[in-house]
Copies of this chain bind each other. A is one copy, B any other.
Amino acid sequence: MTGREGGADLRPAGNAPVVVLVRPQLADNIGACARAMGNGGLFELRLVAPRDGWPQPKAWSNSSGADRILDAATVHANVADAVADLHHVLATCPRPRHIIKPVLTARGAAAELHAIASRGLRAGLLFGPERAGLDNDDVAHADALVRYPLNPGFMSLNLAQAVMIMAYEWWTGQDETPPRELMTNETGVATKARLETFLTHLTAELDASGFLRNLPKRPGMVRNIRHFFQRGETTEQELRTLHGIVTELSLGRRQRGRVERDHDDAG
């Protein structure tokens, strides 16, 4: 899946949460995190003690154009400094132990983050280093933990994918796309009257061809055909195509009929 690339116009919008990568190891991953942030409308990145220093060119080369997020990233010595100006902090933590803390799903976290943003408060999301995750001291800075519901038999989650899931949930938390819709592009969904016109056309040709000649069975057969064409929404364009198909398939019979009539005349 590709899209708009190369220095995309990524600017902070509203009160979106800050992403805080704690002791990230690989610049590649920092770049991939920035890309995931851009996908989900998170724009502010903070780095706590990145292992290999900052900036790292490999982050930019792996961000697919999320340059502005990386350009604006700030570096902090510790978590306390990175979250100092925030009002609410959530820490992603797949396997919290010996801790008393509220635990949110990613979706629950996104809902709370939107509620926090709508109150004019700023929130941050802590993500731990690639292998070890956040340590107990990091987690103590958080108001709540976020634990993604995922296959407990295989929880090994790439850092950028952990960011992706929260970014995706943040975005969908304010998105109102219907779960299913018929994309019709240049055409539109046909009214039932238009569908009826087509079914009348089809039935007439099926009568003429003899397909419906078994009169006791005819009503049921017509009903079954109607059931099929009613199954999904049909567009104006598709109805035009269906009319064309029926007309074209009927043409042979009509021509043969003419030939047979001609033949009869000659006989």
Task: Show the binding face of A for B, using Cβ within 8 Å.
Answer: 1-5, 8-10, 32, 35-36, 38-41, 64-66, 92, 94-108, 111-112, 127-128, 130-133, 144-145, 147-151, 153-162, 164-165, 168, 171-172, 175, 177-187, 232, 235, 237-238
B112 near A180 with CB under 8 A, answer yes
A-B contact pairs, 10 of them (CB 8 A): A2-B130, A8-B156, A39-B154, A39-B156, A39-B157, A100-B184, A102-B182, A106-B172, A158-B160, A164-B164
Q: With A144-B180, A164-B165, A183-B145 in contact, do A151 and B103 touch (Cβ < 8 Å)?
A: no
Q: Which residues of B contact A35 (CB under 8 A)?
A: 156, 158
B155 near A185 with CB under 8 A, answer no
Q: Which residues of B contact A95 (CB under 8 A)?
A: 3
A5 to B183 CA separation, bound complex (whole angstroms): 42
Give the number of copies in the complex. 2
Q: Which residues of B contact A3 (CB under 8 A)?
A: 94-95, 154-157
In the assembled complex, the CB of A32 is this many whole angstroms from the nearest CB of chain B, namely 7
Q: Which residues of B contact A105 (CB under 8 A)?
A: 172, 175, 177-180
Q: With A96-B183, A182-B100, A182-B103 in contact, do A156 and B1 touch (Cβ < 8 Å)?
A: yes
